[in-house]
């Protein structure tokens, strides 16, 4: 009788260890799949943003002085643009046709639905950076805007952040 109890106890411990290992691997696989989806979603968002004009001032004219760009505290979409693009935006995304320059995406959010993983939350931040250091936030207008796309999902252990720098080439 004692041998049977000992064997059952040992079987219970082994089963618990196997279940813990399976749950750990499943969690890791879901996190990895969510990370891959998040990278794809973030890169798609950056690609969309980088196709836009650098600034509202550059839509119809060349600008040679960064002071002519949208002020630092004015980054984001204007009243007419915000009326055309809901927050959070959902598929089919209105931002592609509703925004005309990079900084319109400042504080923009979108819900990206995937068939297998469900909804991802995407938020964008746009700010001026110094030419000498694209990681340093600038409190004045420059010829450089940093775009940071953050993607979140419940299966991810931490949000994914992907960034790029939009550069205005004033002489071309």
d(CA 77, CA 95): 10
Is residue 7 situated within a structural domain?
Answer: yes
Question: Domain span at residue 107?
Answer: 2-167
Q: Say what the pTM is.
A: 0.84
Query: Does the N-terminal peptide bond of residue 92 adopt cis geometry, omega within 30 degrees of 0?
Result: yes
In a domain, 172, yes or no: no
pLDDT classification of 29: cutoffs 50, 70, 90: confident
Interval 87-144: pLDDT, tens: 999 999 999 999 999 999 999 999 999 999 999 999 999 999 999 999 999 999 999 9
DSSP string over the chain: -HHHHHHHHHHHHHHHHHHHHHHHHHHHHHHHHHHHHHHHHHHHHHHHHHTSBS-GGGSSS----GGGSPPGGG-S--HHHHHHS-SSB-SSPSHHHH--BGGGGTT-EEEEEETTTEEEEEEEEEEEB-SS-TTSBPSS--SEEEEEEEEE-TT-SS-EEEEEEEE--TT-
Any domain includes 39: yes
Quote the number of domains for the chain: 1
């Amino acid at each position: 009788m004692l041998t049977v109890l000992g064997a059952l106890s040992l079987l219970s411990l082994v089963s618990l260890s196997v279940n813990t290992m399976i749950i750990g691997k499943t969690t890791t696989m879901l996190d990895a799949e969510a990370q891959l989806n998040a990278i794809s979603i973030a890169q798609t968002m950056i690609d969309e943003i980088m196709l836009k004009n650098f600034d509202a001032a550059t839509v119809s004219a060349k600008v040679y002085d960064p002071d002519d760009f949208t002020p630092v505290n004015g980054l984001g979409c204007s009243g007419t643009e915000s009326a055309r693009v809901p927050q959070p935006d959902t598929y089919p995304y209105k931002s592609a046709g509703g925004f005309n320059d990079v900084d319109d995406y400042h504080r923009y959010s979108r819900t990206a639905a995937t068939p297998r993983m469900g909804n991802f939350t995407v938020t964008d931040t746009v700010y001026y950076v110094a030419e000498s250091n694209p990681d340093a936030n600038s409190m004045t207008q420059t010829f450089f805007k940093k775009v940071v796309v953050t993607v979140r999902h419940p299966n991810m252990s931490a949000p994914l952040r992907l960034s790029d720098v939009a550069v205005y080439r004033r002489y071309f």
